[in-house]
Amino acid sequence: MLGTHVRDRDGYLAGSDTDRLADLNGAIRDDSVDGIWFLRGGYGCMRLLAGVDYDALRRRPKPLIGYSDITALHAAVGRIAGIVTFHGPVARAPLPDDSCRSLRAAVTTRAQPAGMADEARIVRGGRAVGVLAGGNLALLAALAGTPFAPDLRGAILVLEDVNEPVYRVDRMLQQLLLAGMLGELRGIAFGQLTGGPADEMGAARSLDVVLAELAESLHVPCIAGLPVGHMDNQWTLPLGAVATLDVDARSLDVHMDIAIG
């Protein structure tokens, strides 16, 4: 079932705030709807946060699935309604096999949706157990200081972004740090930083250097290059679920046997 206004356009928005919010709240309140799978990210989700029916989600939790701009909704729902949401692919096109398997595992069969990531990079070794939280870094930075920012105490912070140079990633991480959001992190699980501009002047510092500085200052393990973010084959991660990050083993294991909402 598609939302009534799903094909609307209003400049860079997919329709008016009123209509998009009506579609979202309608799906949240409709008991015949078992889950909400977003068609794309882009921009505009933050404009809806104050009007979301969080009480209805508390009464009848249902999966919310998406990534990128949908991070705003993940954060707000986790903070206000206290339920698990799913950082995973949007419903724009058929999914590759691995992405489909992970989505089904996280949302329907409650099997392991993550696991080993052989191509991931060890930034700061170690092992941590915590609650998965986060998503798109630009959205998390934009939410800092608002009542919709996620509570990252005791969290394994999942991050991804697209079309951002490393200096902007550095600045956004510093914003979260200076806002007091990172002081009680358990670990950092960085996915993909895709589509960044070329460093024509040779002045860029690498992403891993920036992440290593942050991880060292927080004394937490950190991995980069997980299959999370703007890529075809991505994991679906239940934000709000408990997971174990083992950087040296290059693994992120979600404890699907623990109640997650």
From CA 75, how far away is CA 198, in angstroms rounded? 31
Q: Are 211 and 102 in contact (CB under 8 A)?
A: no
DSSP string, 109-173: I---S-EE-TT-EEEE--EEEEEEEEEEHHHHHHHTTSTTS---TTEEEEEEEES--HHHHHHHH
∠ CA 120-124-125 to the nearest 5 degrees? 85
Pairing assessment for the beta strands 127-136 and 237-239 based on DSSP bridges: unpaired
From CA 67, how far away is CA 138, in angstroms rounded? 12
Q: Are 51 and 18 in contact (CB under 8 A)?
A: no
- Quote the crossing angle between the two packed helices 166-178 and 207-218, to the nearest 10°: 20
From CA 15, how far away is CA 24, in angstroms rounded? 12
Backbone angles phi, psi at 164, to 5 degrees: -120, 130
Strand partners, 161: 193
From CA 100, how far away is CA 77, in angstroms rounded? 24
Annotated active-site residue in 68, 99, 102, 251: 68
Confirm whether 68 is a catalytic residue.
Answer: yes
Annotated active-site residue in 74, 102, 160, 164: 160
User: How many CB atoms neighbour CB 189 within 10 A?
Assistant: 28
Confirm whether 216 is a catalytic residue.
Answer: no
Helices then strands, each counted (H, E), the chain: 7, 12
Six-digit token string for 98? 């691995």
Annotated active-site residue in 102, 164, 230, 251: 230
Q: Which positions are catalytic?
A: 68, 160, 230
